[in-house]
Structure 1
Amino acid sequence: MEKNYFGITDTGRVRDNNEDTFIAEKTSGDQYIIACVIDGVGGYSGGEIAADIARKSILQHLNEPSGDLISLMRRAIVDADGRIMLEKQTVKAHENMACVITLALIDLNRNQFYYAHVGDTRLYLLRDNSLVKISKDQSFVGFMEDSGRITEDQAMRHPKRNEINKALGFGVNLTAQDDYIETGQSPFLPGDMLLLCSDGLSDMLNKQDITNILVKETLLEKKGDELIAAANKNGGLDNITVVLVTNNNPALKQEALKPATVTHSKVSPVSTFEKVSAPKSNETPIIENHTIPVPVKSGKGTGLMILGTLCFLLVCACIYLIWLNNKNVNQEKQEKLSPFKNPRNAQEKRLQDTLNNLKGNTLILTDSLFQSPITISEPLQLNRDTLFIIAKNNLVFKSDTLFKGKAIEIQTACKYIFLENLTFEDFNTVISSQNNALLFKNVSFINSPNAIESIYHFPLKKHISGKIPNSSFKTDSLPTTSND
């Protein structure tokens, strides 16, 4: 059976030593896969030592993970930062060392992954041949790229691309800053692939180049080797590290529930006061003749019975006519009192039509196609396996004045819905979801008290065991847009 995780690191063509390290292994008990890329900050003395300290801390904390996995990963990174700071204070030659890290914990039994991230190493998710960057580059150039101020190619050539804002060993109190460590979780469906890499790869290969290699029908080892070779071919200016994890579980299938079969047995009626015995084989059954008196029905009173029946039917007909008349009157009153339902406006209709006829699984909402705000008078229906809805600039969905419904209804067929740079305003409930398909990035809610309504369907007459998973969302003080 093909191994579903793989890691590789390479010095590159310019540097003399490799300050990168990685983790690609299963936890004790084989329940989870640890995937991690750690990059000792280039140019600082002891970068490889900082990376090794962080690696040991991660393995120690995640060897037997349990409980809140996101909190556990945060503690592992905070502990790594503390150990690096202690080393810096103890060894004078290492006083400037630091490292950046991207860590993922994959639970294939539940088809989920959890991640924690500091710096400019990266986490990508490949699904249906589409590559999405999950983590944010915590650097000036990364902010410029994510906010749309520069393109991906410009970011790759920017002279300040290696200057980072966050790292382990910078002397920051990580426990006092909740947003210093970026964390999250997402569905990891059969056929999905995770890529964790250092900037030695992402600075040499753009997203399309990476995708072209990942979608090939080759083993993970071959994909890793090709990524390293391609980065070196384009210059190999830094250490290059790649970790790949794929979900090789069988595709999810919805089993049809068969109706219960009820068998009706025919039982011959037996009198409770008469015992019937079958004649023995050597006996002749005795047949007795009984004279049964037949009652003679008198014709007296037949006319009265018919007349009474006719009167009864006449009364019933009158009652029905009165009820029908009252019903029509009430319907007319209700129609007069009911608010007028506005038809969908042009933008709203165009958006739903675009979703219905979308080729591929990514919809980019640009200012040239959709002007903010888009007024919603009827829920947008999402009924695709995988869908990425990304606004180039923050796009507002606003509830129509008379509309009291939801902005988006996610159907059971959806397995992964990614929303980015959207704002929902004046909805009582914004999204109705029938599974755990949602992933947010820079999504905000204004005057909308109920963000998500989750609906779970269970088969009837079955005993259900399990736990509704905790959702993990984080808040950002600064909204950004992304080209990814």
Structure 2
Amino acid sequence: MAEQYYGLTDPGKQRDNNEDAFIAQTTVNGRFVIACVIDGVGGYSGGEVAAALAREAILKRLERPAGEVIPILLDCFNLANQKILAAKKENSKHDSMACVATLALVDLERNQFHYVHVGDTRLYLLRDDSLVKITHDQSFVGFLEESGRLTEEAAMAHPKRNEINKALGFETTLLKDDDYIETGHSPFLPGDVLLLCSDGLTDMATKIEITDILTGKGSLAQKCENLITVANANGGKDNVTAVLVSNDKQATNYDATKPIATQKKTELDITIPPPTPTKVNELTSAEIPAKKRSAWPWVVVIIIVLIAAAGGWQYLKHQQADTPMANNANTDTLAASTPKPVDSIETNLQTMIDSLKGNVLLLTDSLYPKPIKIDKAIRIDKDSLFIKTKGHITLVGDSAYNGAAIELSTKAKMIFIDSMTIKGFKTGIINYNNALTLKRVSFADCVVPVQNEVSVPNNKPVSGPATSLKVDTVTVKPKPSNGATGKR
């Protein structure tokens, strides 16, 4: 268990005190990992005090968590906010103190994590050696960087980098603005790693440097030390804090035709454990009883392959009479190739999404130099998918088509689309259960750009915001207490 999480903080090279704080420990008998990074707002008196008060409030609230996870985590931030505001009234020297924070509750048993975030601390997910930034910096410079107006290097050196517009201790209530606290949840698959960190790391170390450390060898403790070392080596201008959580379960490889892919789910389930791996290859060749094996199965396979090849050859000859032959595109790297005819591009795009082995899909305008004409919704059945584009990629609706350009399935948990134009559809994207995040996506001549839907189980009570209803569950029965739980 100790190797599944670790946290470390350092004052850096230019500051005497450390206004950062962190949490890296378990709760509920080891089932959940609490991972949190808190940064006292720099330049304000009492930043260190605010961070300590927030840490204390979060730990106290998570001693006996009960109910839905996101409301519990929001309650942690609300309680921390109240404690900071009360302390500011008691001590005039600390009347400007505040802190920013990112808090994640990792469900080790069910392979998922939930998070809340305010400010410019960050949460990253490392999956398949790819580092994805989950949270959004609530600052002007952060907005410029995420919108593509500033490069990472320019943002790191910007004079207003540390100016934030949201924090714990700024507002008397966090509920008046639904967007004040960022929330979310995602699968936490075997082999995944979470990184929570303060801006003392991300202002001093690039994404490439961080990725190299996280994908390198060594324990979580060693990787935390290496992250702080590189930040200090690059200047160490601020306090540096890093918390790592690893899902060290053995990764399972799934076949493309696994039965679970075709199962129809009648209930919303945000806690799906990974399917039990098939054990067809459990015996080695040495353990198989020595006996002469029949050659007939191989003969049948060869005959089938020859028939299929002959049919494919005839089909290709027929296609060549009408259109030039197109090169095959690698579905994982999407290397540039000669584009297929427009009427087959949609099918090609759907095939690439369905057969993608990882969770990052790169689309380039060299592969799709013309708008992609859609006469059937592109369906995304994956739990997580990051669609990134290079160049100008446009989806256009066929004149006779009245459906959506993209439709998420109810299984989707985190779908991220970066830089795309969706033009001429009755509905641009059908989104289920708040799984969709957009960045630089334009909608042109779409009656409904994004249609948000909610899937609910049959004949079961649900609770939560109307855009993200969940089955009522109680994780741990709370013990009687004189204090209010603040459940919403």
Q: 1:440 aligns with which of 437, 441, 444?
A: 437
Contact 1:376 1:400 in 2 (8 A): yes
Higher mean displacement: 346-355 or 9-18: 346-355
Distance 1:412 1:81 in 2: 35
Contact 2:412 2:435 in 1 (8 A): no
Question: Match of 2:401, as an amino acid?
Answer: F
- Report how far residue 92 of structure 1 moved: 1.2
Contact 2:406 2:428 in 1 (8 A): no
Q: Which residue of 2 aligns with 1:71?
A: 71
Q: Deviations over 1:365-411 (max 9, x none)?
A: 56787689743113436688964203579976454343356645779
- Report how far residue 69 of structure 1 moved: 1.1
Q: Does 1:57 align with 2:54?
A: no
1:22/1:381 Cα in 2 relative to 1: closer, same or farther (>3 Å)? Answer: same
1:75/1:372 Cα in 2 relative to 1: closer, same or farther (>3 Å)? Answer: farther
1:439/1:247 Cα in 2 relative to 1: closer, same or farther (>3 Å)? Answer: farther
Question: Match of 1:25, as an amino acid?
Answer: Q
Distance 2:370 2:115 in 1: 33
Contact 2:125 2:192 in 1 (8 A): yes
User: Is the partner of 2:124 in helix, strand or coil?
Assistant: strand
- Report how far residue 420 of structure 1 moved: 4.0
1:164/1:420 Cα in 2 relative to 1: closer, same or farther (>3 Å)? Answer: same
Q: Does 1:219 align with 2:219?
A: yes
Contact 2:378 2:406 in 1 (8 A): yes
Q: Which residue of 2 aligns with 1:209?
A: 209
Q: Which residue of 1 aligns with 2:262?
A: none
Contact 1:2 1:219 in 2 (8 A): no
Distance 2:82 2:413 in 1: 39
Q: Does 1:158 align with 2:155?
A: no
Which structure 2 residues correspond to residues 319-338 of structure 1 after superposition, within 5 A? none
Q: Deviations over 1:160-204 (max 9, x none)?
A: 101111111123531211111111111111111100000000001
Distance 1:472 1:24 in 2: 32
Q: Which residue of 1 aligns with 2:398?
A: 400
Contact 1:429 1:452 in 2 (8 A): no
User: Is the partner of 2:179 in helix, strand or coil?
Assistant: coil
- The TM-score normalised by the length of structure 2 is 0.67
Higher mean displacement: 152-161 or 411-420: 411-420
1:395/1:45 Cα in 2 relative to 1: closer, same or farther (>3 Å)? Answer: farther
Distance 1:79 1:413 in 2: 33
Q: Which residue of 2 aligns with 1:197?
A: 197
Q: Deviations over 1:125-147 (max 9, x none)?
A: 00000000000111111011011
Distance 1:400 1:449 in 2: 18
Higher mean displacement: 44-53 or 103-112: 103-112
Question: Match of 1:447, as an amino acid?
Answer: V
Q: Which residue of 2 aligns with 1:325?
A: none
- Report how far residue 28 of structure 1 moved: 3.0
Q: Which residue of 2 aligns with 1:243?
A: 243
Distance 2:132 2:48 in 1: 29
1:358/1:218 Cα in 2 relative to 1: closer, same or farther (>3 Å)? Answer: same
Distance 1:422 1:115 in 2: 27
Q: Which residue of 2 aligns with 1:380?
A: 378
Distance 1:183 1:413 in 2: 19
Q: Which residue of 2 aligns with 1:228?
A: 228
User: Is the partner of 2:224 in helix, strand or coil?
Assistant: helix
Question: Match of 1:75, as an amino acid?
Answer: D
Q: Which blocks of at least 5 consecutive residues in structure 1 are unaligned?
A: 259-342, 457-463, 475-484
- Report how far residue 7 of structure 1 moved: 0.4
Which structure 2 residues correspond to residues 403-442 of structure 1 after superposition, within 5 A? 403=401, 407-408=405-406, 417-420=415-418, 426=425, 430=429, 440-442=437-439
Distance 1:413 1:61 in 2: 31
Q: Does 1:117 align with 2:121?
A: no
1:60/1:415 Cα in 2 relative to 1: closer, same or farther (>3 Å)? Answer: closer
Distance 2:6 2:428 in 1: 43
Distance 1:372 1:119 in 2: 40
Distance 1:347 1:133 in 2: 30
- Report how far residue 415 of structure 1 moved: 8.9
Q: Which residue of 1 aligns with 2:41?
A: 41
Q: Which residue of 2 aligns with 1:389?
A: 387
Question: Match of 1:380, as an amino acid?
Answer: I
Question: Match of 1:400, as an amino acid?
Answer: D
Question: Match of 2:222, as an amino acid?
Answer: K
Contact 1:11 1:239 in 2 (8 A): yes
Distance 1:449 1:223 in 2: 40
Paired residues in the alignment total 381
Q: Deviations over 1:413-443 (max 9, x none)?
A: 999753345676745795699xx99553457
Higher mean displacement: 422-431 or 192-201: 422-431
Q: Deviations over 1:46-103 (max 9, x none)?
A: 1110000000111111222221211111121012111111111110111111110011
Distance 1:451 1:373 in 2: 25
Question: Match of 2:400, as an amino acid?
Answer: L
User: Is the partner of 1:15 in helix, strand or coil?
Assistant: coil
1:115/1:400 Cα in 2 relative to 1: closer, same or farther (>3 Å)? Answer: same
Contact 1:184 1:473 in 2 (8 A): no
Contact 2:405 2:425 in 1 (8 A): no
Contact 1:398 1:427 in 2 (8 A): no
Q: Which residue of 1 aligns with 2:80?
A: 80
Contact 2:427 2:447 in 1 (8 A): no
User: Is the partner of 2:416 in helix, strand or coil?
Assistant: strand
Distance 1:85 1:389 in 2: 41
- Report how far residue 348 of structure 1 moved: 4.0
Contact 2:125 2:131 in 1 (8 A): yes
User: Is the partner of 2:3 in helix, strand or coil?
Assistant: coil
Q: Which blocks of at least 5 consecutive residues in structure 2 are unaligned?
A: 253-273, 281-340, 469-488
- Report how far residue 32 of structure 1 moved: 1.1
1:95/1:68 Cα in 2 relative to 1: closer, same or farther (>3 Å)? Answer: same
Which structure has the larger Rg over C-alpha atoms?
Answer: 1
Contact 1:432 1:454 in 2 (8 A): no
Q: Deviations over 1:292-337 (max 9, x none)?
A: xxxxxxxxxxxxxxxxxxxxxxxxxxxxxxxxxxxxxxxxxxxxxx
Which structure 2 residues correspond to residues 21-40 of structure 1 after superposition, within 5 A? 21-40=21-40
Contact 2:397 2:405 in 1 (8 A): yes
- The TM-score normalised by the length of structure 1 is 0.68
Q: Which residue of 1 aligns with 2:176?
A: 176
Q: Which residue of 2 aligns with 1:280?
A: none
Higher mean displacement: 154-163 or 422-431: 422-431
